[in-house]
Amino acid sequence: MKRFALLLAGLLLGSFTLLPDSIRASNRLEKLHKATYKVVSVDTKAKSITLEDDSGATNTAPVLGKAVDKLGELSAGMKVTVTCRDSDEGKHQGVVAIEIAKEPADANAKSYHRATYTVVSVDLEGESITLSDDYGNEFTSAVMGDALNKLADITYGVRVTITCQDNANGDHEGIVDIEFAR
């Protein structure tokens, strides 16, 4: 039985060396590389993408495999990180993975959120308002811009919906709009 097993193993190993190079190559690890580019255009029908590198040079590449599913999520101007497959000779074959690149936060970016509170007090000279949430938690905030014009009309106990401005780090900067809640 041992002789038969050894003979079978020898035949299998020997037959592998007789396989064409293309079949043996498919069993090796793929040659992949990643890079980040700006999307110039996407052609979902042709399954291709045109990308621009940091120097401004553009290149159109075929999109392969599961990366094709990402094409519908992309638009011109987006930053993407692509994984490309190369042949054994180092020639580019196509894009096999696409990830939308994470952009660093703009230091000047502002975000806004709205919430409804009860007015506790208004300080016209200090240009601020103290509000209470539904649980009785109070906080005081600066009032900015056009919202300052509405401070004189607000009194204790009134429900207001405010729009707050936050900086790029998510820190509260102040109230930029006040509306009477309905």
Q: Three-state DSSP class for 5?
A: helix
pTM for this model (two decimals)? 0.44
Whether residues 86 and 135 share a domain: the answer is: no
Count of domains in the chain?
A: 2
Cβ burial, residue 150 (10 Å; 0-12/13-18/19+): middle
Q: What is the band of 25 on the pLDDT scale with cuts at 50, 70, 90?
A: very low
> What CATH number is associated with residue 130?
2.40.50.500
Residue 56 CB neighbour total at 10 angstroms: 7
* Whether pLDDT at 88 is above 60: yes
Q: Report CA Rg, the chain.
A: 31
Whether residues 115 and 82 share a domain: the answer is: no
Report the length, in residues, of the chain: 182
168 in any annotated domain: yes
Round to whole Å and give the CA distance between 148 and 84: 55
| Mean predicted confidence (pLDDT) in 61-68 | 92
9 in any annotated domain: no
23 in any annotated domain: no
132 in any annotated domain: yes
pLDDT single digits (tens) 148-180: 999 989 999 999 999 988 877 777 889 999 998
Domain boundaries, position 166: 111-180
Whether residues 141 and 173 share a domain: the answer is: yes
Q: Three-state DSSP class for 134?
A: coil
Out of 100, 121, 141, a domain closes at: 100
Whether residues 92 and 153 share a domain: the answer is: no
83 in any annotated domain: yes
Whether residues 136 and 83 share a domain: the answer is: no
